[in-house]
Every structure is written in structure tokens, then in C-alpha cells.
Amino acid sequence: MELDTVLMSRLLTAMTLGFHIIFATLGVGIPLMISIAEFIGIKKNDPHYQLLARRWTRGFVITVAVGVVTGTAIGLQLSLIWPNFMQVAGNVISLPLFMEVFAFFFEAIFLGIYLYTWDRFTNPYIHWSFSLPIIIGGGFSAVFITTVNAFMNTPEGFTTENGTFAAVNPLAAMLNPATPTKVFHVLSSAYLTCAAILAAITAFMILKRKTTDYHKKALRLTMTMTFLFGLVTALAGDTSAKFLADHQSEKLAAAEWHFETSNNADLILFGWLNENNEPTGEMRIPGLLSFLAHGNFNAEVTGLEEVPTDKQPPLWIHYMFDLMVTIGFLLPGIALLYFILAMVKRWNEHNKGLLSLIFLSGPLAVLAIEFGWIYAEEGRQPWIIRGYMTVEEAVTSSSYVPHMFVLFFVLYVVLGTLCVVTLRKLFRNNPAEVELEKHYPTITKGDDE
Amino acid sequence: MSYELVGISVLWLFLYGYLIVASIDFGAGFFAFYAKVTKKDHVINQLIARYLSPVWEVTNVFFVFFFVGIVGFFPDTAYYYGTAMLVPASFAIILLAIRGSFYAFENYGSKQSTLYTFLYGASGLFIPASLSVALTISEGGFITEANGNVSLNYMDLFTSPLSWSIVALSIVSILFISATFLTFYAARAQDWPALKLVRTFALFWSTPTIIAALTTFIVLSQHNERHYENMLNLWWVFGLSVGFFLIAIWLLYQQKRYGLAFISVMLQFLFAFFGYGVGQYPYLLDPYILIHEGATHPSMGIALIAAFIGGLLLLIPSLILLFKLFLFDAAYVKGKK
Ligand code: HDD
Ligand code: HEM
Ligand code: HEM
């Protein structure tokens, strides 16, 4: 029974976070895309971009709603399911959680203003400027929550006295060693994911209907962003790996199946473990792990052997890491392909094959987010606060967790389904061409190829 | 004032803020549903939508602020309330989730549906009912702690007159607060048919509100002598509360100064809420959590207060802008923008 509660609590937390993170990521990244589109629209006086901003916003509102309600769920669940964790960690890490609420406040207020003032000001830049606090609010809520998660991985900013935390320094706890790389990677991957999703939707529309100027511009904009943030995300991921090598070596070692400490370590891609726990059927790149971890092909990389067996993370996180990294290379790769095709006159960047690839990159990006988090969270096991409290010590003593799991599972299925249904209806009944004509009657003619 | 007192005062103030804005929201959902069923939706639903659309997310943040803040200032609350509230709070979360998202699906999505409106209206009454369990629990007697296990005695809870009177009070207060606000809003919008309807709602729900309040007071005396005595010592606070209630009713009857009427209702609840809260001092959870013992480290307490002040400097101008654009902009309220 005891074990069941732990397992079900972990599953419930993972399910809620795994669901929330999709909408949270959209909440962080989409406002940036909207803002860029509106800015270009005003600057170039191009109704296409302005309509783009409007339509993205309309869809965004729906996903925000789901983000807010699932965020409220996870916020409460942290206390409901992990009361011992919150009681102890609350003393050290409640500052960023508290500040996050202000970020939400800020975002929520300006989102309300942004939504309902499209045509209210004669100077269009005033309306555009309301998108900035939304970007900042969403971004900072990610920053703050990520510092909390970073703290769980490399706790700092306190001393312990007979089992409880004493001499707390909230700022030091927030700015723990994991924070910089984590924040960098979480933010960049959120922007990347949103660009990829919007590109995927555009590609889908072109595949299904026809190529209009509106869709071409949308595709070019989102592809540019995917490419840029793809590079930044890979860079940020690299800094994350270097951080792990220095401060949380067991997570990297488990992900890389790097069991013995050694120099000039190979990078192992995919494969499986045989009965002696040896990697089989893998691809090996000599020395690359050393390079990834320390920027030097001969550097020493700490192996998993240095951590007692009962404190080692599960080895299957290897696949999570590999899949995330693979997607990390695919996304900017697809974008690059698009630009190469666009550059050469004879080739058509709107061919079916490429559009299908672009369409795939949206779901792939979301998967990368999920894989990344599962890797990061599983790689911390068995700790909830690394080195101080295990997951088992943190869990609730209530016996109703399994029931709640079922309830929330149903809730997320309903929310997810209705969200998709609503979004589809919203845009199916109101295609861009029709709306363009309604809003900007002067330019519709000659729009089609 | 010590930092933990500052903390609990600020949190209580925000909970009060949530009480007001959420009541408006929850009650409006119920009235929207009621109007739809009685085929009067053309009269008031436009009005309700114009107010709610820009602010519903802000309402939710008030709530998040409260529970994040209380766990921050008083981490012990996570342990006791967290364990005990797993089931009631999960229900509240699910209802909040249904409510918030269905609102968005219906309003920003394309199609109107009576089912959505029903869920939206009904959830608004059940959420306060399940959240008010926390208030009931805080009076003590429902939680037991045995060898490190905290558990909630559901039988006691469901058979307690206290919990039911608190539930009843929360529901009728919501309808009363909301109706008074809508009356004020309709007057500003100069929407006379709507005004007529919501004003009758406000008058109708005033009587149950005061009856439920008195009942709760009496039941509390049976349940928690100490809290009751403390509240009796604060009789003047409750006197003020009743006074403002009477002013509000009088203004509503006289059909004038609806803004003032709503402010009176706000003050009525402000005094009652603070009288109730101060009466509970020094406990956060009778008898397990005391404000002074359950507080976080001083350095964290100070940091939280500093963050709070910084946050307010950011929020107040933004909120003023929001209100200026939507609540106090007569043209927007009238539906001309
Ligand atoms: C679109 C999403 C995405 C993509 C393409 C990548 N990542 Fe990632 N990664 C994340 C999304 C993500 C994440 C969801 O944001 C994580 C989960 C936890 C975290 O801090 O960020 C993460 C975690 C994470 C971690 C663990 C950090 C920690 O636990 O402290 C490492 C080492 C990397 N990533 C490395 C990479 C590398 C080398 C990539 C190669 C291109 C890469 N990631 C692409
Ligand atoms: C939003 C993206 C996140 C996702 C998708 C995610 C995913 C997961 C997963 C899969 C687990 C289960 C691990 C296991 O127990 O086997 C987990 C556990 C947990 N996560 Fe995260 N996580 C995220 C971010 C966070 C953040 C930012 C925090 C800190 C505030 C956090 C706190 C926890 C806690 C408390 C647990 C339970 C204890 C544990 O199992 O480690 N998570 N999460
Ligand atoms: C890295 C992972 C996470 C990111 C990037 C993130 C980001 C966000 C964003 C952007 C929103 C607002 C949605 C919107 O308004 O657009 C949101 C909502 C919310 N999140 Fe998360 N979140 C993460 C994980 C968590 C965790 C672990 C918690 C729990 C402590 C949490 C608590 C909340 C709450 C309470 C809300 C609702 C706030 C409201 O009422 O506006 N989030 N999150």
C-alpha cells in the first residue's frame, strides 16, 4: 500500500506536469511570435502579418485557458501530494514560487488588455506594446519555476540543523548552480517549440488548401524562428550537458550509459543493454562524450560507478536523452532545408515532401519537451531534493491518491479533446482568406497564385 | 509588527480580494445559466460577458496567490492542509478547470452550448462549497494526527452542522455579492432591462445571506468556544459589517447610488471577514498550527515581503490601466467599443 501511494503519486505528478508543460510552453513562446508578427505587420503596413497576429492570438486564448487551469492544478498538487516536500522546501524555495504568481498576474492583466483593444487606439504601436508585458510575464514565470526545479537538482542556500533547514538564503537558493543552464535551455526550447508548432499548422493549411501569400509569409517567418531558436536550443542543451558533467554527473552518466570513469569517453547513441548491462547494437562516436561534457576530447568523464547503486537513476533515461537530442538536430535541419530550397529558384520550397516534414516538426518539438523533462526528472531519482530528501519521504500519507489519479486522467482527456475540437472549429469555420476580405477588403484581389 | 503577522494580513487581504472577485465571477455564471433557462439570456448575458471576458484570468491568479503565499509564509500548512485536503481540493481543482476552460471554449470558441453554460453555472456554486472545507477544518476537530499520519475524518465533516452552514453561507454570499455588482455594472452601462432583473436578484439574495451568517455564528459557538468568544469581543467589527449591509439594502431599495451600494457590500464582507480571521488568531489550524510557530525562516519571510512590495509596484499601475480600459470606460461598458 505504501509503495502504491508513492508510485501513484509520481504518476499523477508526472501526468499533470506532462500535460501542463504543453500549454505552459505555448504560454511562454506564442506571445513572442504574435508580437513579432504584429510588429512586422505595422512596420511594413502589411495586413497579412496583422491578420496572422490576430489569428494566432485567437487560438492562443484557448490554450492559455487550459494552461491556467492545469497550472493551478499542479500548483495545488505540489502541496496535496508532496506535503513533506513542500513543508521542508517551502522554507527555502517559496520566494520564486511567490514571484511567479506576480509574473502570472502581470501576464494575465495585459493579456486581457491585449485581447480587447485591437482597434481601440489610433497609434497601432500602443496595442503592440501591450504584447511586451505578456512576453515578459510568460518568460519570467518560466524562469521562476525553473529555478525551483533547479533547486531540487542542486539544492543550495541553507544549512541543515538536526534534520531541518536553517540559515536560509532565498537568493542563493534561487541562483543555485543548475539555474543558469536550465533557464537558458527551457526558455530557448519553448520559443523553438512554438515556432515549430506554428510552422506546422501553416504547412498543414498549405497542404490541405492552397498556397496563398498569407500562408507563404507565415511559413517563412516561422521557419526563420525555428532555425534561429533551434541553434540556440542546441547551444543551450550543450551548456546543460556541461553543467551536468560538473555538478550532477550521475544524471549524465546514466543517460550516456557511461559506467566507468574514464578519459576520452565515447558517445553512445541508442542501442540496448544486454543481460550484463553492456551496451549492444549502439552507435559509438569516439571521444565525443568527453567533448560534450568538458569541451575537450581527452577530458575525464565521471562514470556511474561513483554513485552507490541505490542512488542511481534508471538507465532507460538514455532513450529520452537520445530522442530529445535527435529532435534537436532535426528541427533546425528541416528549417535549413526549407531555406536551401527557397534560395534556389528552380526548386520549390512548397513541395509536398518538405511541407510534410515541416508539419511533423510541430509534434516532434512537443515530444522533445516531454522527453527532456522526463529525462531531467527521472535523472534525479531517487531524490526529490537531491542529497536531502527522497521521493518516498516526501509523499502524502493519504490513501486516496489512486482515486485522484483516475479523476485527473479523465479531466485531462476531456480538456485535451475539447481544446483540439474548439481550436479546429474556430479556424475551420473561418478561413484566413475569408477573414482577410472582411478585415482588409482592399487587398484581397490578386492574393492567390 | 512581526513578519509573520504582516504575512498573514497580506494573505488574508488577498483571500478577501479573491472572495470578492471570485464571487462576482461565480455568481455571474450562475445567473447566466439561470437567465438562459428562463429565456431571459438576451437581457443580461451580454452584460455579463462584457465584464467577465477581460478579467477571468486575473480572478484565478488571486487564488493562486493565496495558496502559494500561505505555503510560502507558513510551510506547515502544506503538511497539514495538504494531506487533509487532498480529496476536497482535488474536486475544487477539477471544477475550477472545467469552469475556466469551458468559459474559454464557449466565449472565445465558436459555438454556444447550453451544456457548457450549465457546467459553468453549476461549478461556480460547487467550487466555493469544496474550498470552504478549508475554513471548516481550520476550526479544529476534523483532523487527527497519529504516528506521523494526518487524516481527515470525513464522517465528522459531513455530519457537522458547522461545515454545512459554512457551505450555505458561501453559496448565498456569492449570489448576493455578484448580483449587487451586476446591478452597479448594469447601471453604468445604462442597460435598464438588465438592471431591473439583476436588482431583484440582489434584493432576493440579501435575506438568505444575513440568515446564513447568523446561523454560522451560532453553530460556531457550539463548535469552537475560543473562536466564538474572540469574535464576541470584536462585536463592533461585526456591528459595522451589519451596518454596511443595511446601507446596501437601503440603497438598492431606493434604486440609487448603486456604486455605493456595491462598495457597502464590499465593506460588509471586509469587516466580517477580518473579524472572523482576527478571531481565529493565533491559530492557522486549531490546534496544530500557530501563526508564530508555523512561520517560515525570518530571512525568507523578509524576502517574501520584499517581493510582495516589488510585485505591488508592478501590479497596481497595471490593474489601474485594466480598470480604466474596461470597468470605468463608459463607452466600453455600454458595449460601444
Ligand atoms: C524542443 C525541445 C528541446 C530540444 C530540441 C532539446 N532539448 Fe534538451 N531539454 C529540453 C528541451 C529540449 C527541456 C524540456 O527544456 C529540458 C527538460 C528539463 C530542462 O531543464 O530542460 C531539457 C533538458 C536537457 C538536459 C538536462 C538538463 C538538466 O537536467 O539539468 C540536457 C543535458 C539537455 N537537455 C541537452 C540537450 C541537447 C544537447 C540538445 C541538442 C540539440 C537538446 N537538449 C535539445
Ligand atoms: C513542466 C515540466 C515538467 C515535467 C513534464 C515534469 C515531469 C516529471 C516526471 C515525469 C516526474 C516523475 C518522475 C518519477 O517520479 O519517476 C516528475 C516528478 C516530479 N517533478 Fe517534475 N516535471 C516538470 C517540471 C517540474 C518542476 C518545474 C518542478 C518543481 C517545481 C517539478 C517537481 C516535481 C516533483 C515534486 C516530482 C515528484 C517527485 C519525483 O518523482 O521526483 N517538476 N516530474
Ligand atoms: C518549466 C515548467 C513550467 C513552465 C515553463 C510553466 C509556465 C507556465 C505558464 C506560461 C503559465 C501561464 C499560462 C498562460 O497564462 O499562458 C503557467 C500557469 C501556471 N503554472 Fe506553470 N509552468 C511550468 C511548470 C509549473 C509547475 C511545476 C508549477 C507548480 C508549482 C506551475 C504552476 C502554475 C500555475 C499555478 C499556473 C496558473 C497561474 C494562473 O492562474 O495564471 N507551473 N505556467
Give pLDDT tens digits for A149-195.
Answer: 999 888 887 777 766 777 677 888 888 888 999 999 999 999 999 99
User: A138: closest CA among B57, B22, B272?
Assistant: B57
What pLDDT sits at residue A448? 38
Look at B300 and A95 and tell me if their CB atoms are within 8 Å: yes
A138 and A31 in contact (C-beta within 8 Å)?
A: yes
Q: Which residue has the cell 465533516?
A: B157
Mutate which of B52, B61, B328 to disrupt the A interface (most A C-beta within 10 Å)? B61
A344 pLDDT higher than 80: no
Residue of A nearest to B52 (CA): A112
Q: What residues contact residue B15 under an 8 Å CB cut-off, 6+ apart?
A: B66, B273
CA B236, chain centre distance (Å): 23
On the 0-12 / 13-18 / 19+ scale of CB atoms within 10 A, A239 is middle
Instruction: Report whether A113 contacts B322 (CB < 8 A).
Output: yes
Report CA(A116)–ligand 2 centroid distance (Å): 36
- What pLDDT digit, counting tens, does each position of B91-136 carry? 888 888 888 887 777 766 555 677 777 877 888 888 888 888 888 8
DSSP string, B262-294: HHHHHHHHHHHHHHHHHHHTTEEETTTEETTTS
- CB contact, 8 Å: B104 with chain A? yes
Task: Report whether residue A65 contacts ligand 3, using a CB cutoff of 6 Å.
Answer: no
What value does the mean pLDDT take over residues B148-155? Answer: 76
Mean pLDDT of A393-399: 73
**A203 Cβ contact list (under 8 Å, min separation 6):** A219, A355, A356, A358, A359
Span B39-51, pLDDT tens digits:
777 777 777 777 6
Q: Give Cα separations from A311 to A23, A211, A212, A304, A405 (angstroms).
A: 33, 55, 57, 10, 27
| Contact state of B100 with A133 under an 8 Å Cβ cutoff | no
> What are A268's strand-pairing partners?
A284
Region of poorest pLDDT, from A298-312, B184-198, B262-276: A298-312
The reply to whether residue B318 touches residue A64, judged by beta carbons under 8 angstroms, is no
Residue A447: predicted pLDDT: 42
Shortest distance between the Cα of B323 and any Cα of chain A, in A, equals 10
Residue A325 to residue A320: CA distance in whole angstroms: 9
From the list A115, A165, A396, which residue is nearest B54 (CB)? A115
Among A98, A117, A355, residue whose Cα is nearest residue A223: A355
Ligand 1 site-directed mutation target among A185, A250, A258, most atoms within 8 Å of CB: A185
φ, ψ at A344 (rounded to 5°): -85, 120
Task: Read off the pLDDT band of B332 (50, 70, 90).
Answer: low
Q: Which chain A residues are Cβ-neighbours of B82 within 8 angstroms? A: 79-83, 86-87, 396
Please state, in angstroms and rounded to a whole number, the distance separating the CA atoms of residues A128 and B94. 35
CA A69 / ligand 3 centre spacing (Å): 9
Identify the pLDDT of residue A449: 32
Share of chain B above pLDDT 70, in %: 92
ipTM of the predicted assembly exceeds 0.90: no
Q: How far is the centre of ligand 1, averaged over its atoms, from the C-alpha of A277 (Å)?
A: 25
Interatomic CA distance for residues B285 and B125, integer angstroms: 25
Domain chopping of chain A, boundaries? 3-243+327-443
Is residue A84 within 8 A of residue A393, CB to CB? The reply is yes
Q: Report the C-alpha gap between A243 and A183 in whole angstroms.
A: 12
Atom 36 of ligand 3, nearest CA residue: A71
Q: Which of A113-117, A235-239, A270-274, B251-255 has the lowest mean pLDDT?
A: A270-274
Under the banding of pLDDT at 50, 70 and 90, the label for residue B337 is low
Mean pLDDT for A47-64 is: 86
Of A90, A111, A419, the CB nearest to B72: A90
Q: Which residue has the higher pLDDT, A134 or B3?
A: A134
pTM confidence score: 0.86
A189 in contact with ligand 1, CB cutoff 6 A: yes
Identify the band that residue A349 occupies on the pLDDT scale cut at 50, 70 and 90. Answer: low
Q: Output the nine-digit C-alpha cell for A286.
A: 569516439
Confidence of residue B9 (pLDDT cuts 50, 70, 90): confident
State the pLDDT confidence band at A204, using cuts at 50, 70 and 90. Answer: confident
Mean pLDDT of B149-153: 77
Ligand 2: residue of A377, A384, A405, A412 to mutate (most ligand atoms within 8 A of CB) is A377
Q: Which is higher by pLDDT, A309 or A1?
A: A309
Q: What is the average pLDDT score of chain B?
A: 81
Q: How many helices (H) and strands (E) does chain A have?
A: 15, 10
Q: Which three cell numbers stand for residue B336?
A: 460601444
Query: A183 CB under 6 A from ligand 1?
Result: no
Which chain A positions have a beta carbon within 8 Å of B69's beta carbon?
98, 101
3-state secondary structure of A176: coil
Residue A145, ligand 1, Cβ within 6 A: no
In eight-state DSSP terms, residue B112 is -
Residue A301: strand pairing partners? A262
Instruction: Report the pLDDT averaged over residues A246-264.
Output: 74
Cβ contact, residue pair A419, B81, below 8 Å: no
Q: Tell me if B97 and A168 make a contact (CB, 8 A cut-off).
A: no
Please tell me if the CB atom of residue A51 comes closer than 6 angstroms to any atom of ligand 1: no
Q: Are strands B283-285 and B289-290 parallel, antiparallel or unpaired?
A: antiparallel
Cβ–Cβ gap A426/B110 under 8 Å: yes
Q: Which whole number is the average pLDDT over B83-94?
A: 83
Instruction: Say how far apart CA A276 and CA A250 lie, in whole Å.
Output: 20
Distance CA B66, CA B72 (A): 10
pLDDT band for position B137 (cuts 50, 70, 90): confident
Look at residue A226 in the predicted model and tell me its pLDDT: 92
Give the nearest ligand 1 atom to A238 CA.
38
| Mean per-residue pLDDT of chain A | 82
pLDDT of residue A444: 45
Per-residue pLDDT reduced to its tens digit, B257-292: 888 888 888 888 888 888 888 777 777 776 677 777
Report CB contact under 8 Å: B72, A95: yes
Q: Region B295-315: what's the mean pLDDT? A: 82
CA distance B135 to B70: 14
**pLDDT of A375 strictly over 50:** yes
Cell numbers representing residue B193 in the block: 432591462
Distance in Å, CA B164 to ligand 3 centroid: 33
Cα(first)–Cα(last) distance of chain A, in Å? 66
For residue A2, pLDDT beyond 60 = no
Q: Which contiguous run of DSSP H or E holds residue A193?
A: helix A179-208
pLDDT at A210 over 90: no
| Closest Cβ–Cβ partner in B65, B104, B299 for A61 | B104
Q: How confident is the model at residue B186 (pLDDT cuts 50, 70, 90)?
A: confident
Asked if the bond preceding B54 is cis, omega within 30° of 0, the reply is: no
Q: How does residue A259 score in pLDDT terms, banded at 50, 70 and 90? A: low
Give A-chain residues touching B76 at CB under 8 angstroms: 87
| pLDDT score at A46 | 81
DSSP secondary structure code for residue B328 in this structure = S
Do the chains contact at A77 and B93, CB–CB below 8 Å? yes
- Partner-chain contact A86 B319, CB within 8 Å: no
CA distance B2 to chain A (A): 17
What pLDDT was estimated at residue A82? Answer: 85
- Residue A12 alpha carbon to ligand 2 centre in Å: 10
Q: What angle, rounded to 10 degrees, do the helices at B225-233 and B258-280 form?
A: 130
Rounded to 5 degrees, φ, ψ at B290 are: -105, 145
**Distance, first Cα to last Cα, chain B:** 47
| pLDDT mean over A50-64 | 86
pLDDT at A333 over 70: yes
Question: Are B64 and A101 within 8 A, CB to CB?
Answer: yes
Q: What is the pLDDT of residue A433?
A: 67
CA separation for the pair A215, A249 (Å, rounded): 46
Over residues A75-112, the pLDDT tens digits come to 888 888 888 888 788 778 888 888 888 888 888 888 88
The ligand 3 atom nearest the CA atom of A31: 16
Q: Is B105 on the interface with A (CB under 8 A)?
A: yes
pLDDT at B252 exceeding the cut of 60: yes
At residue A300, the 3 state secondary structure works out as: strand
For the Cβ of A233 lying below 6 angstroms from any atom of ligand 1, the answer is: yes
Cα separation, A57 vs A396, in Å, equals 40
What integer pLDDT is reported at residue A165 of this predicted model?
Answer: 73
pLDDT of residue A141: 92
Q: Is A230 in the pocket of ligand 3 (CB under 6 A)?
A: no
Residue A319 Cα, ligand 1 centroid: separation in angstroms? 13
